Amino acid sequence: MHSPHQKTVLVTGGAGFLGSHLCDRLLRDGAKVISLDNFQTGSRLNHRQQAANPDFRLIEADVADPLPDLEVDEIYHLACPASPVHYQESPIATLRTNLLGAMNVLELAARAGATVLLASTSEVYGDPLVHPQPEDYFGNVNPFGERACYDEGKRAAEALFYAHAEEKGADIRIARIFNTYGPRMQPDDGRVVSNFVVEALLDRPLTVHGDGSQTRSFCYVDDLVDGLVRLMASDVRTPVNLGNPGEFSVAELADMVVAMTGSHSALAHLPLPADDPRRRRPDIAKAERLLGWTPAVPLAAGLASTIAYFREAVLDPASDDRPSHLLPME
Ligand SMILES: NC(=O)c1ccc[n+]([C@@H]2O[C@H](COP(=O)([O-])OP(=O)(O)OC[C@H]3O[C@@H](n4cnc5c(N)ncnc54)[C@H](O)[C@@H]3O)[C@@H](O)[C@H]2O)c1
């Protein structure tokens, strides 16, 4: 009896928040996993447990540079800084990653005969005029502003994936990912869940932009990773929203975090950033119908494990999990 083929899977951006959880899941599922990362926002610590696994390999490289040939069956293309703080540090680098990265990854997939999945984003809908956003909504995006390097970069990456599928028969998948949170988010990257949790744990004021009435949806990382794996395993070659349709105001989230951490923090209001969407909520009917996927982790449960992670990473300086890039807290 011959043993079944062991899949080899490349995860670009594998040392990041989502990528490292995806590597964990793929290894658990029995795949050989290659993580390719330039460590712009990722951390070697995120691969600490995987490094000992003989089925895991790390390649330090930039997806915007020509990529080596790799014998892989599947590619999850996640490489790209996800938080505005990081993608706005160098908008040109962000565009290079999105445009040249997508091109290089598609060419590698063609050489390897691999299926290739793009981690796209709800930002392709911009500041949406339709709620919730279905996949056939074209969006309301500003091409000439500080978020454009990311939003338009991802839109162009989707266009590249589409073009390669049409012209060259590439076997593509596109996940439009909505706000996802969980352990291994960076404490200093300006995303609302990690910001609130870190501020609450340190008893600092929680920074709320605007009056806090803007809404967001929050998907727990394990649910999101499951959606990515199901999408890859499907034959759906058009964009699919993945996110949690539960809609919470930023002020509600702040109240939950303060209560769950037992913090004494108050709220500090700052002006809204440019082009900040007022509402954001996925329509996940397509994922439910075609992938049989629906998020299972309620916000309170996901927040509890996120808080536990940050409690150790932020408050316990002796912890092995303490990320090296943690901001020195004044
Ligand atoms: N987390 C979310 O809520 C969310 C929402 C929508 C879309 N996404 C998308 O999912 C992907 C992963 O997001 P994340 O939250 O894990 O972000 P992250 O910043 O934690 O991870 C991104 C990873 O990509 C690496 N990277 C960046 N540029 C690179 C390059 N040029 N070459 C090689 N590696 C590079 C970084 O070092 C990092 O390890 C991104 O493409 C992001 O746009 C995430």
Span 260-285, average pLDDT:
88
Ligand 1 mutation pick, 34, 41, 122, max ligand atoms within 8 A of CB: 41
Q: Where are the beta strands (DSSP E) in 53-157?
A: 56-60, 74-77, 115-121
Establish whether residue 313 lines the binding site of ligand 1, counting it when its CB lies within 6 angstroms of any ligand atom: no
Q: Are 153 and 95 in contact (CB under 8 A)?
A: yes
Q: Is residue 84 part of a domain?
A: yes
Q: How far is the CA of 218 from the centre of ligand 1 (A)?
A: 17
Establish whether residue 39 lines the binding site of ligand 1, counting it when its CB lies within 6 angstroms of any ligand atom: yes
**Which residues touch 189 (CB under 8 Å, ≥6 apart)?**
41, 82, 83, 85, 86
Q: Is residue 139 part of a domain?
A: yes
Q: How far is the CA of 110 from the centre of ligand 1 (A)?
A: 22
Q: Is residue 264 part of a domain?
A: yes
Which three-class secondary structure state does DSSP give residue 41? coil
The model's pLDDT over 195-252, given as tens digits with 9 standing for 90+, comes to 999 999 999 999 999 999 998 999 999 999 999 999 999 999 999 999 999 999 999 9
Across-strand partners of 70? Answer: none
**Among the ranges given (55-64, 76-85, 222-231, 275-284), the one the predictor scored with the smallest mean pLDDT:** 275-284
Q: Is residue 127 part of a domain?
A: yes
d(C-alpha 48, C-alpha 39), whole Å? 14
Q: Is residue 2 part of a domain?
A: no
Residue that the structure tokens 């162009």 belong to? 156
Confidence of residue 276 (pLDDT cuts 50, 70, 90): confident
Establish whether residue 194 lines the binding site of ligand 1, counting it when its CB lies within 6 angstroms of any ligand atom: no
Pairwise pLDDT comparison (297 vs 321), residue with the higher score: 297
Is the pLDDT assigned to residue 152 strictly greater than 60? yes
Q: What is the pairing mode between strands 115-121 and 267-270? A: unpaired
Distances (CA, A) of 299 to 87, 153, 189, 248, 280: 26, 30, 20, 10, 16
Confidence of residue 326 (pLDDT cuts 50, 70, 90): very low
Establish whether residue 323 lines the binding site of ligand 1, counting it when its CB lies within 6 angstroms of any ligand atom: no
Within 10 angstroms of residue 47's Cβ, the number of other Cβ atoms is 22
Establish whether residue 182 lines the binding site of ligand 1, counting it when its CB lies within 6 angstroms of any ligand atom: no
Establish whether residue 80 lines the binding site of ligand 1, counting it when its CB lies within 6 angstroms of any ligand atom: yes
Q: Is residue 3 part of a domain?
A: no
Q: Is residue 319 part of a domain?
A: yes
pLDDT, the chain, mean: 93
Q: How far is the CA of 247 from the centre of ligand 1 (A)?
A: 24
Q: How far is the CA of 263 from the centre of ligand 1 (A)?
A: 30
The pLDDT assigned to 301 comes to 98
Residue that the structure tokens 């703080």 belong to? 85
The pLDDT assigned to 321 comes to 52
Q: Is residue 1 part of a domain?
A: no
Is the pLDDT assigned to residue 277 strictly greater than 80? no
Counting from 1 in the atom list of ligand 1, the atom nearest the Cα of 97 is 31
Is the pLDDT assigned to residue 320 strictly greater than 70? no
d(C-alpha 114, C-alpha 109), whole Å? 5
Confidence of residue 317 (pLDDT cuts 50, 70, 90): low
Q: Which two tokens mark 207?
A: 């920074």
Establish whether residue 125 lines the binding site of ligand 1, counting it when its CB lies within 6 angstroms of any ligand atom: no
Q: pTM, whole model, 2 decimals?
A: 0.94
Q: How far is the CA of 197 from the centre of ligand 1 (A)?
A: 21
CA nearest ligand 1 atom 17, residue: 82
Confidence of residue 135 (pLDDT cuts 50, 70, 90): very high
Ligand 1 mutation pick, 11, 12, 18, max ligand atoms within 8 A of CB: 18
Using a pLDDT cut of 70, give the percent of the chain over it: 95
Is the pLDDT assigned to residue 6 strictly greater than 90? yes
Highest mean pLDDT among 167-181, 204-218, 278-292 belongs to: 167-181
Q: Where are the beta strands (DSSP E) in the chain?
A: 8-12, 32-37, 56-60, 74-77, 115-121, 172-177, 180-181, 206-209, 215-217, 219-220, 240-242, 247-249, 267-270
Counting from 1 in the atom list of ligand 1, the atom nearest the Cα of 184 is 20
- Which residue range forms the structural domain that includes residue 36? 8-326
Is the pLDDT assigned to residue 153 strictly greater than 90? yes
Ligand 1 mutation pick, 10, 17, 90, max ligand atoms within 8 A of CB: 17
d(C-alpha 209, C-alpha 44), whole Å? 32
Is the pLDDT assigned to residue 329 strictly greater than 50? no
Residue 88 CA to its chain's centroid (Å): 16
The pLDDT assigned to 327 comes to 40
Establish whether residue 101 lines the binding site of ligand 1, counting it when its CB lies within 6 angstroms of any ligand atom: yes
The model's pLDDT over 13-44, given as tens digits with 9 standing for 90+, comes to 999 999 999 999 999 999 999 999 999 999 99
- Residue type, position 92, single letter: I
Count up the domains in the chain and report the number: 1
Q: Which two tokens mark 163?
A: 């073009």
Residue 218 belongs to a domain with what CATH number?
A: 3.40.50.720
Confidence of residue 324 (pLDDT cuts 50, 70, 90): very low
Span 10-15, average pLDDT:
98
Residues recognised as catalytic: 150
Counting from 1 in the atom list of ligand 1, the atom nearest the Cα of 46 is 39
> Would you put residue 87 in left (φ > 0), alpha (ψ -120 to 50) or beta?
alpha
The pLDDT assigned to 330 comes to 26
